[in-house]
């Protein structure tokens, strides 16, 4: 199982790597559910860590419907972080009706190549997740980070398992939100999990 740790600082990313994290999702302001990190901290983290660093591209808190100016900033940031040497991009865009904005998300996916692309927890507010999951598969998204549309992944576990069965390995389902060492056993059927694991000093199972 790959354990991805969400880190909002270089210092915490280093700590997570030492604790046994397999990958870092780097962002800032986790109290706002994460937004795009500053370039300096991201570069330092990418350069110093020995494990893959994915970077969150989310220009502001709130909904996932972005103005043209915000979208242009997202694309510019993807190019910048790719140049820094990150190994993946974490992002996503919705329409006002809480469906996935196919055209603009496709643009982000294409711009991110050859890096891996994770569609983030915007997925947890879509109105028809089964239908939207198929859209992500068609877009060539590598994985989706989701709590199963609940406040935490334990509550959404049954839907997470349904996503996994439907995906048939065409896209990775990565549970996230509220996962810790005490409940991680519930997710042993998944290849990857995501969490902040702030109280853990040893992530090895």
Indicate the domain borders of the chain: 2-195
- Residue 18: the pLDDT is 92
The answer to whether 36 and 70 have CB atoms below 8 angstroms apart is no
Q: Which of 32, 109, 30, 87 is nearest to 63 (CA)?
A: 32
- Residue 40: the pLDDT is 95
Place of tokens 């439907």: 166
Ranges of the chain with pLDDT below 70: 200-201, 204-205
Strands (E), 106-163: 116-119, 143-146
**17-44 residue pLDDT tens:** 999 999 999 999 877 778 999 999 999 9
- Residue 204: the pLDDT is 65
- Residue 203: the pLDDT is 73
The answer to whether 115 and 87 have CB atoms below 8 angstroms apart is yes
- The SS3 of residue 167 is helix
- Residue 109: the pLDDT is 97
- Residue 110: the pLDDT is 96
Range 2-195 classified under CATH 3.20.20.380: yes
Whole-prediction pTM value?
Answer: 0.93
- Residue 198: the pLDDT is 78
Place of tokens 């896209």: 171
């Amino acid at each position: 199982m790959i354990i991805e740790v969400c880190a909002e600082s270089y210092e915490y990313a280093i700590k997570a790597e030492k604790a046994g994290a397999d990958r870092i999702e780097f962002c800032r302001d986790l109290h706002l559910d994460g937004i795009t990190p500053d370039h300096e901290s991201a570069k330092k983290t990418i350069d110093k860590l020995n494990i893959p660093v994915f970077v969150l591209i989310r220009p502001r808190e709130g909904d996932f419907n972005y103005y043209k100016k915000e979208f242009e900033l997202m694309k510019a940031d993807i190019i910048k972080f790719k140049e820094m040497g990150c190994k993946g991009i974490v992002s996503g865009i919705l329409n006002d009706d809480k469906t996935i904005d196919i055209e603009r998300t496709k643009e982000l996916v294409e711009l991110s190549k050859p890096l891996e692309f994770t569609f983030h927890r915007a997925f947890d507010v879509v109105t028809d997740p089964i239908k939207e999951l198929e859209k992500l598969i068609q877009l060539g998204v590598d994985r989706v980070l989701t709590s199963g549309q609940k406040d935490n992944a334990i509550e959404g576990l049954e839907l997470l398992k349904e996503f996994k069965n439907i995906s048939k390995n065409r896209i990775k389902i990565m549970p996230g939100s509220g996962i810790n060492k005490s409940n991680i056993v519930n997710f042993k059927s998944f290849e990857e999990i995501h969490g902040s694991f702030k109280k853990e000093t040893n992530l090895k199972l």
